[in-house]
Amino acid sequence: MSVKSMICIVCPVGCHIDVDEQSLEVTGNRCPRGAVYGKKELTDPRRMLTTTVIINSHLQRRLPVKTTDDIPKGLLFKAMEEINKITVKVPVQSGDILLKNLLNTGVDIVSTMSLEI
Amino acid sequence: MHDIIIIGGGAAGLSAAKEAYDPGLKILIIEREAQLGGILRQCIHNGFGIHKYNLELTGPEYAQKTHHLLEGLNIEVLMHSTVVDIIKDDHFELTIMNPTDGEFKLTAKAIIIASGCYEKTRSQILLPGDRPAGIMSAGNAQRYLNLDGYMVGKKVFILGSGDIGLIMARRMTLEGAEVLGVAELMPYSNGLTRNIAQCLDDFDIPLYLSHTITDIVGKDRLENIVISEVDHAFNSIPGTEKTFEVDTLLLSVGLVPDIQMFESLQFHTSPLPGRSSISIFKPRSMDALRAAMLYTFMTLLTGSVKKVKKPDDMQKCMLKMSSNPPPLNRWNPVKTSAMSCLNALIMKIKMRPFSFH
């Protein structure tokens, strides 16, 4: 029986948690979200991705964007390639969907900033 | 004449405006950039607002949400404008500059300085070696990359394991740069452990604890850096040198409050060099409003959560503070991450307007 030690990344507390590799039982977490994270990290590790895309704004040259949900960790670099193909024209609102169903994950890419000009 | 002028339209300034708001008060926010939000606008990663909004927001989203709190309130905003001088007489006289009006003056009964921090530079930590291009602070690199769209380097090393450095290690890696490592002088990281996990471990970026840079080599552009292990007195240990071939060095080595503006205002300043300079009004010149203002400023710096509601309490609080300066380690730039610092600013400002004499 082996135990995997990791740091929970759900919140800034950063609990040191241990996950049993067989039973997927999590110990050391100070909240229920840690148990969910520990299990998921062993079976299907996922991350939120935040980056920027090109925009024709007068104010700045990049528009910050994010995934609407976490995506498989192994897809991060592929996702970056896809996202880097996006160009956006103003006006754009925070929350506007810029790319649907990124790499068939069911996750969208949305703007995180509103820019009018 | 304004009742309150707030210098800085970032997280602290916007929150201060909301807390200070009263329909009877004439409030003005002065912001030097084209948009409100301050540093939050370049912090595109998520993790903001967990405590305040119970949401996991990115920096720009957090800024926008904070800005929305001011909608419908009669608060003036002066954009593109920089305060260059403050004089205190019966009231505060601010000298302001902007591209359309040039230099002009505004007066206020009270001011709140929410002008944030600047990052420590190479010369402030006395880094040895050549002085080529390619060495910059992590926050600067963040701005270049996230707002201006410039990739600042291809092979990167980071000095300092504060959160800005860790966040930039991940950001540069995702954008295709190779981050060769992060060196930290202390035997522990100053960043959040979750940032060590999701910014370094996720991308197999090594963290060299108890290490610092002992040489920088480069003619025009940075070519090599040398790091060495340090002993408990932070002296480098000969024979432990490691050389990295890099074109860019990011510094994430601490923040210093940008409070130069206070210098003309007769303060007592902390003698501790390079750290937060906590300044205190001379007690005899205090009235309730000034105390309230100062309390806000003190709160900004110290992150104190004490709520003071009545002017009397303010006076007491002030007298206590002036005779017994707060411990500096409450606001320690080395230990305070930029993010938690911002959160602290936002959560802990509590100022209520008082009647003016």
pLDDT beyond 70 at A81: yes
Give the neighbor-by-neighbor strand order of the sheet with B2-7. B75-78, B27-30, B2-7, B102-113, B92-98, B82-88
Tens digit of each residue's pLDDT (9 = 90 or more) over B253-279? 988 877 777 766 765 555 554 444 444
pLDDT-wise least confident of B7-16, B87-96, B152-161, B327-336:
B327-336
Query: Measured between CB atoms, does A77 come within 8 Å of chain B?
Result: yes
A105 pLDDT exceeds 70?
Answer: yes
Mean pLDDT over B269-295 rounds to: 43
* pLDDT for the residue A1: 64
Q: Note the pLDDT of residue B105.
A: 96
Lookup result for tokens 């602070």: B137
What mean pLDDT is predicted for residues A70-89? 95
**Quick one: DSSP state of residue B318?**
H
**End-to-end alpha carbon distance in chain A:** 59
For residue B259, the model assigns a pLDDT of 72
Q: Is A54 on the interface with B (CB under 8 A)?
A: yes
β-pairing, A71-72 with A46-47? antiparallel
Which residue in chain B is spatially nearest to A115 when comparing CA positions? Answer: B35
Using CA atoms, how far residue A77 sits from A84, B144, B170, B172, B300, in Å, is 11, 21, 12, 12, 39
Residue numbers in B near A91 (CB within 8 A):
none
- A106 interface with B at CB cutoff 8 Å: no
Fold observed for domain B121-251 = FAD/NAD(P)-binding domain (3.50.50)
Query: How far apart are alpha carbons B162 and B34 in whole angstroms?
Result: 28
Contact in structure between B26 and B2 (CB atoms under 8 Å) = yes
Give the mean pLDDT of B52-68.
91
* A10-19, B230-239, B305-314, B325-334: range with lowest mean pLDDT: B325-334
d(CA A75, CA A79): 6
Instruction: Report how far residue B147's alpha carbon sits from residue B138's, in angstroms, rounded to the nearest whole number.
Output: 14
Judge: B147–A61 Cβ closer than 8 Å, yes or no: yes
The pLDDT value recorded for residue B36 is 93
Helix (H) or strand (E) holding B337: none
Do B190 and B337 meet the contact criterion of CB atoms below 8 Å apart? yes
Would you call B80 helix, strand, or coil by DSSP? coil
Q: Mean pLDDT, chain B, as a whole number? A: 79
User: What percent of chain A is modeled with pLDDT above 90?
Assistant: 68
Handedness of CA A51, A53, A57, A58 (dihedral sign): positive
Going by their DSSP bridges, the two strands B222-229 and B242-245 should be labelled as antiparallel
Buried b (16+ CB within 10 A) or exposed e, B92-131: bebebeeeeeeeeebebbbbbbbbbbebbebeebebebee
What is the mean pLDDT of the segment spanning B107-118? 89
Give percent above pLDDT 90 in chain B.
Answer: 55
Q: Which residues of B touch A (CB under 8 A)?
A: 34-35, 41, 44-47, 50, 56, 58-61, 64, 145-149, 171, 174-176, 192-194, 196-198, 201-202, 339-340
Q: Nearest to residue A113, comparing CAs of A57, A30, A74?
A: A57
Is residue A9 scored above 50 in pLDDT?
A: yes
Burial class of residue A45 in the structure, from the number of CB atoms within 10 Å of its CB (0-12 exposed, 13-18 middle, 19+ buried) = middle
Say if residues B26 and B10 touch (Cβ distance below 8 Å). Answer: no
| Encoded amino acid at B180, one letter | L
Q: Which two tokens stand for residue B186?
A: 């202390």
What are chain A's domains? 3-44 (no CATH), 50-111 (3.10.530.10)
| Other Cβ atoms closer than 10 A to A34 | 23
Nearest to B30 by CA among B83, B87, B92: B83
- Assign a CATH topology to domain B2-118+255-348: FAD/NAD(P)-binding domain (3.50.50)
Instruction: Over range A70-94, report the average pLDDT.
Output: 95
Min Cα distance A22 → chain B (Å) is: 23
- Predicted local distance difference test score (pLDDT) of residue B205: 96
The DSSP letter of residue B235 is P
Taking only the tens place, the pLDDT of each residue in B7-43 is: 999 998 999 999 899 999 999 999 999 999 999 999 9
Distance of CA A11 to the CA centre of its chain: 14
**DSSP characters for B236-283?**
BPTT--EEEE-SEEEE---EEE--GGGGGG--B----TTS----B--G
Sheet holding B211-218, edge to edge: B211-218, B222-229, B242-245
Residue B190: which pLDDT band, with cuts at 50, 70 and 90?
Answer: confident
- Check residue A92 and give its pLDDT: 96
Interface test with B, best of A112, A114, A117 (most B CBs within 10 A): A112
User: Distance (Å, rounded) from C-alpha B13 to C-alpha B20?
Assistant: 10
Three-class SS state of B216:
strand
Cα distance between residue B25 and residue B296, in whole Å? 17
* DSSP conformational letter for A100: S
Reported as a pLDDT band with limits 50, 70 and 90, residue B308 is very low
Domain boundaries, chain B: 2-118+255-348, 121-251
Given this model, what pLDDT does residue B145 score? 96
pLDDT at B347 over 60: no
Of A8, A50, A51, the CB nearest to B194: A8
d(CA B209, CA B230): 9
Least confident of A44-48, B50-54, B353-357: B353-357
Sheet of A16-20: strand order equals A3-7, A16-20, A26-27
pLDDT exceeds cutoff 60 at B318: no
Residue B200 has pLDDT above 90, yes or no: yes
Burial class (CB in 10 A: 0-12, 13-18, 19+), B285: exposed
Range from A8-17, A21-30, B80-89, B260-269 carrying the lowest mean pLDDT: B260-269
More confident residue, B126 or B298: B126
User: B-chain residues within 8 Å CB-CB of A48?
Assistant: 46, 56
Q: What is the mean pLDDT of chain A?
A: 92
Q: Give the model's pLDDT for residue B257.
A: 79
Chain A residues within 8 A of B198 when measuring between CB atoms: 9, 47
pLDDT given for residue B270 in this prediction: 57
> CA nearest B343 in A: which residue?
A12
Of B61, B176, B198, Cβ closest to residue A112: B61
How far off is chain B from A27, nearest CA to CA, in Å?
17
Residue B173: is its pLDDT beyond 70? yes
The residue written with tokens 């007195």 in the block is B233
- Within 10 Å of residue B172's Cβ, how many Cβ atoms? 27
The amino acid at residue B350 is: K
